[in-house]
Amino acid sequence: MPLIAWNDSLSVGVTTIDAQHRKLVDTLNQLHDAMLSGQARQLTGSILERLLQYTREHFSAEEAMMAAAGYPGLAEHRLRHVDLTRQVEGYVTRFQHGEITLNLHLMHFLRDWLTRHIQSEDRAYAPAMRARGLR
């Protein structure tokens, strides 16, 4: 069982964004698999770092699209991204310092961290993007 099964409730209806969200979902599922199969810290650490890198890339691409769509909620959304990025950075740093291990509690936090943001804040900009013909 993957941690997150992709489904329509995760789609914002903008192809570019959905593809990026799927990549984040895939990465979280890889992290979950690695945890369940007891992979070494080195491997789980590198997946966690990749998650952070994809997150940064996605947030900046998403912000550029919101700007192109003239979405009025951009400034607020950007602040939310800063906050969400800091949360993952905090976990990555603590993991690297050996202060935490990968466990189900962390996996569930990351699942909710991603899905709740997609289903609330991300969904909110989709009509503005579609109205501008952004796909």
Q: What is the closest distance, in whole angstroms, from the C-beta atom of residue 67 to Fe ion in the complex? A: 13
CB atoms within 10 A of CB 128: 19
Instruction: For the segment 95-134, give every residue that binds Fe ion (CB under 5 A).
Output: 122
Q: Which residues contact 45 (CB under 8 A, 6 or more apart)?
A: 95, 96
CB atoms within 10 A of CB 50: 14
- Residue 18 within binding range of Fe ion, rule CB under 5 A: no
CB closer to Fe ion, 48 vs 122 = 122
3-state helix, strand, coil in the chain (%, to 5): 75, 0, 25
CB closer to Fe ion, 10 vs 122 = 122
CB closer to Fe ion, 48 vs 62 = 62
Nearest residue by C-beta to Fe ion? Answer: 122
Binding site for Fe ion (CB under 5 A): 62, 122
